[in-house]
């Protein structure tokens, strides 16, 4: 993908109050312009460009994606000195839920969801290579589990967490609160689901109401004061479409989480 074609799956906004907003909407993917650049590197440059902020408001609506990019982004946010408030607008699935764990405070509307599961990979090769791939996934899985355990404290045992991960668990806001995966439940909202047909097709237990959105027709264009919102949502759809084309070109080597 050329630099001219690339669109980021995140957006930063600097606020006059010494705060910053960050939106992660869409698939979390990896791309490379040259030997020195990846999406995580570009993310870091954009994060640093916010300057000396005291609070970062992170809004997530994502079905997940590349585990290494997500872990890197989560680590950057965790290290940042700003107080990070995570708002899961509709869905934080897979590696997007790991990014959410970087928040000092995690908020979920009552109708939002979080999905957690064991990382997976598409692998081809001989028996030795397949065994190595399984061992690699186990090590990656331990790293991911540590992100959850650091957040949940004593609300969930490591054994119960492993059980939820193996089962590919789609958790309601109340379940997340009970398990220590979020801190605040807010009123239900009307955030649009961020649907990726290709990525959702790899999951086993997608709830029926989310799966139904895969076949929903595109909403009619808004008018009047809603035109700006409609244009923003259309930009998100276009971004996801481009990134999915990129994902399909290297699915054989991507590790998803």
* Backbone Cα Rg of the chain: 18
**CB 213 within 8 Å of CB 76:** no
Active site residue 94: yes
Does 80 participate in catalysis according to the annotation?
Answer: no
Helix (H) or strand (E) holding 255: strand 255-256
60: left (phi over 0), alpha (psi -120 to 50) or beta: beta
- Strand spans (E) along 50-183: 55-62, 83-93, 105-109, 113-116, 120-121, 169-172
Q: Please give the structure tokens belonging to residue 244.
A: 């999915």
Say how far apart CA 230 and CA 225 lie, in whole Å. 10
What separation in angstroms does the CA of 173 have from each of 2, 77, 153, 185, 257?
A: 39, 22, 18, 7, 20
The percent of the chain in helix, strand and coil, each rounded to the nearest 5, is 45, 20, 35
Q: State how far the Cα of 76 lies from the Cα of 232, in Å rounded to an integer.
A: 26
Main-chain dihedrals φ then ψ at residue 196, nearest 5 degrees: -120, 105
Place of tokens 């009307």: 190
Contact 39, 55 (CB under 8 A): no
Q: Which of 39, 117, 147, 196 is catalytic?
A: 117
User: Which one of the listed residues 30, 62, 94, 97 is annotated catalytic?
Assistant: 94
Residues assigned a catalytic role? 94, 117
């Amino acid at each position: 993908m050329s630099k001219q074609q690339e669109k980021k799956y995140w957006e930063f906004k600097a606020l006059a109050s010494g705060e910053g907003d960050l939106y992660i909407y869409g698939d979390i993917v990896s791309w490379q312009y040259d030997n020195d650049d990846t999406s995580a590197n570009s993310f870091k440059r954009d994060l640093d460009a916010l300057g000396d902020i005291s609070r970062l408001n992170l809004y997530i609506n994502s079905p997940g994606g590349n585990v290494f990019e997500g872990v890197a982004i989560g680590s950057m946010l965790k290290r940042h000195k700003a107080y990070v408030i995570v708002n899961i607008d509709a869905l934080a699935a897979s590696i997007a839920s790991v990014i959410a764990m970087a928040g000092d405070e995690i908020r979920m509307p009552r109708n939002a969801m979080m999905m957690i599961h064991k990382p997976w990979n598409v692998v081809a090769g001989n028996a030795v290579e397949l065994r190595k791939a399984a061992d690699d996934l186990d090590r990656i899985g331990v790293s991911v589990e540590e992100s959850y355990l650091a957040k949940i404290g004593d609300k969930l045992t490591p054994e119960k967490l492993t059980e939820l991960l193996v089962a590919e668990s789609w958790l309601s806001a109340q379940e997340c609160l009970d398990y220590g995966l979020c801190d605040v439940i807010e009123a239900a909202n009307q955030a649009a689901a961020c649907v990726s047909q290709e990525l959702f097709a790899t999951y086993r237990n997608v709830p029926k109401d989310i799966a139904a959105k895969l076949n929903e027709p595109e909403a009619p264009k808004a008018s009047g004061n809603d035109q700006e919102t409609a244009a923003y949502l259309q930009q998100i759809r276009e971004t996801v479409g481009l990134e999915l084309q990129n994902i399909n070109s290297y699915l054989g080597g991507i590790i998803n989480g």
